[in-house]
Structure 1
Amino acid sequence: MVGIEWFAGNWAVIWVLVAVVFGIIEAVTMGLTTIWFCGGAVVAALVAMIGAPLGVQFALFFIVSIVLLYFTRPLAQKKLNIAVEKTNSDALIGHIGFVTVQIDAFSTGQVKIQGKEWTAVSLDRALTIEENTKVVVRSIEGVKLVVEPSADGQQ
């Protein structure tokens, strides 16, 4: 049977266990935080195997963990972020459409752009835009296009 004394003299095994614990915590939380400490523990285990002093092991554990956390976490979050639903609606900004239902002042109307009808508001909220007016999409607010009359105006 293995006693506590055996573990105290085998820091490489302890570091591997620490890495496994951090790996399990990461698998449960998926917060992209503890995985980097898992990497630090693996490095500490490697230097423990070659006989480095305990202080060096702890120093490398913290240094490697913090460096991994600081430099690679933002990259991993960007690549793995599936919570953000991307749409192509932003591609409509700058495109030309036509008012199909008059956009009244401080109200909404309808604009047809790329063959689809969209609810739209005027960039200048006090402006009324008549039906069949050519408009340019300036931004998107929620599900509404924010438009203004194009330079050449009517169809």
Structure 2
Amino acid sequence: MSSVSYAVFWLLLTVILAVIELSTMGLITIWFAIGSAVTIIVALLGGNIWVQLFTFVIVSTVILLTVRPIAASHFNNQIKKTNIDAIVGRKLIVKTDIDNIKGTGKVEMDGSTWLAASSIDEVVIEAGAEVRVVRVQGAKLIVEREVI
């Protein structure tokens, strides 16, 4: 194959990888698309197939390992937690004493009353105390006393 044929192959691969990245937004294939784009230049300069493959693998890997973590942290900080993920970690006020032995306890969250249980069975949390949600178990919030 001629250097132009190799360059066309790398160009097609670049486009395919870029389209995959645009459709998934996973920040994975974009780095390989960049690697194949750099390899187009190597192909046009007459590098043999082994040099092209080496360039593709090295450039893709180096960019993936160095730039992806920075880009991922930049993009992922815009994601809003929803549903249960948004509840865990919230600080709430106890409405009625939380006593796992008696099976009592309620907290208020966003104007709604939720059943609550202590994350430690023997601990009773009095009404008015501030608690933090540690997990959700069915329709019940498992909480622990917030330490100030």
| Cα deviation digits, residues 100-152 of structure 1 (max 9, x gap) | 3232334341135797644322243134445xx4423144322625134989x
- Equivalent position of 1:15 in the other structure: 10
Residue identity (%): 35
- Structure 1 distance, partners of 2:115, 2:45, is 68
- Equivalent position of 2:143 in the other structure: 146
Greater C-alpha Rg: 1
- Equivalent position of 2:100 in the other structure: 105
- Structure 1 distance, partners of 2:108, 2:16, is 56
Alignment partner of 1:73 out of 63, 68, 71: 68
Aligned length: 138
**1:27-46 maps to which residues of 2 (within 5 A)?**
27-46=22-41
1:88–1:31 Cα change, 3 Å:
same
**What one-letter code is carried by the residue in structure 2 that aligns with 1:16?**
L
**What one-letter code is carried by the residue in structure 2 that aligns with 1:56?**
V
1:149–1:135 Cα change, 3 Å:
farther
**What one-letter code is carried by the residue in structure 2 that aligns with 1:62?**
V
Gap regions ≥5 residues in structure 1: 1-7
**What one-letter code is carried by the residue in structure 1 that aligns with 2:120?**
D
- Structure 2 distance, partners of 1:89, 1:115, is 17
- Equivalent position of 2:129 in the other structure: 135
Give yes or no for contact 2:131–2:145 (8 Å, CA) kept in 1.
yes
**What one-letter code is carried by the residue in structure 2 that aligns with 1:120?**
A
Runs of 4+ off more than 4 Å: 81-84, 112-118
Q: Normalising to structure 1: TM-score of the pair? A: 0.64
- Structure 2 distance, partners of 1:150, 1:134, is 14
1:12–1:123 Cα change, 3 Å:
closer
Shift of residue 18 of structure 1?
Answer: 1.7
Give yes or no for contact 2:133–2:143 (8 Å, CA) kept in 1.
yes
| Cα deviation digits, residues 74-96 of structure 1 (max 9, x gap) | 3444444448536376352xx7x
- Equivalent position of 1:121 in the other structure: 117
Give yes or no for contact 1:120–1:144 (8 Å, CA) kept in 2.
yes
